[in-house]
């Protein structure tokens, strides 16, 4: 009974670590590697894992024990990924016991702070305007791009939280960016509509999904890599569709 309880704790710890990492934007191969290292350091080296973008399967054949957990919401919080990796290293070095490591993971999941929303939208404006300059834009369009980028990102997050429909928030945010860019040029607040649009959509571009897709494919995780690549393709299509509709209406 004691061995069964211990193996169940190892299983729960692996699943908890994998769930946090997947929901925070980690790659599939990194999640599998972390869970395997946790199990091996806990003394169960026959771990079998299967990770996708929507679920985790972990089992121990010798213990006749396995479990599935669903991945629901996904975001980008690399601080959580770093915290899980750090805790895994401390567990491997004996600085944390298995029960303490599980409690540590609960703290990481529930108490890791995220950046304030105000900082996020300001960062979106900074990214939009600076990348617009890098992509051969003019300083005359710097301030308009900053505010259009902020507005587009705000629409993206607001619609995403309220409607919870994938890709619709990307479409509407791109549509708003296209409309505001056209109006800014028509009212002489800006000069080049192309620079405004290119800079303002940069915070919406699925860079992490594309990067993770290529890295997972290179590591042999073809299903997850193709799934994430398809997701990135749909996001890019939604952004492009929003811009096209804005041009057609205005």
- Domain boundaries of the chain, sorted by first residue: 1-111, 117-249
C-beta separation of 174 from 239 below 8 A: yes
Which pLDDT score is estimated for 161?
A: 80
Tell me the per-residue pLDDT of 39-78, one tens digit each, with 9 for 90 and over. 898 888 888 888 887 888 888 887 677 788 888 777 778 8
E strand or H helix at 58 = strand 55-60
Give dist(CA 38, CA 22) in Å, integer.
Answer: 16
- Taking only the tens place, the pLDDT of each residue in 135-180 is 888 898 999 999 999 999 999 988 888 777 778 889 999 999 999 9
pTM of the model: 0.81
145 vs 19: CA distance, rounded Å: 37
């Amino acid at each position: 009974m004691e061995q069964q309880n211990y193996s169940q704790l190892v299983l729960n710890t692996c699943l908890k670590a994998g769930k946090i990492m997947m929901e925070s934007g980690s790659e599939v191969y990194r999640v599998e590697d972390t869970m395997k290292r946790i199990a091996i350091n806990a003394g169960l080296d026959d771990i079998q894992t299967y990770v996708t973008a929507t679920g985790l399967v972990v089992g121990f054949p010798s213990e006749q024990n396995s479990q599935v957990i669903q991945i629901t919401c996904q975001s980008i919080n690399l601080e959580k990924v770093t915290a899980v990796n750090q805790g895994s290293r401390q567990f491997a070095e004996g600085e944390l016991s298995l029960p303490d490591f599980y409690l540590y993971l609960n703290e990481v999941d529930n108490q890791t702070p995220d950046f304030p929303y105000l900082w996020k939208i300001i960062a979106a404006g900074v990214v939009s305007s600076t990348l617009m300059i890098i992509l051969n834009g003019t300083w005359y369009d710097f301030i308009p791009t900053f505010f259009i980028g902020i507005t587009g990102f705000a629409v993206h997050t607001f619609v995403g939280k309220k409607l919870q429909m994938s890709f619709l928030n990307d479409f509407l945010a791109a549509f708003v960016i296209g409309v505001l860019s056209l109006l800014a040029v028509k009212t002489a607040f800006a000069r080049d509509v192309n620079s405004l649009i290119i800079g303002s959509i940069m915070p919406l571009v699925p860079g992490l999904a594309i990067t993770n897709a290529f890295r997972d494919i290179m590591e042999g995780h073809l299903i997850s890599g193709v799934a994430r690549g398809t997701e990135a393709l749909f996001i890019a299509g939604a952004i492009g569709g929003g811009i096209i509709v804005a041009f057609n209406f205005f």
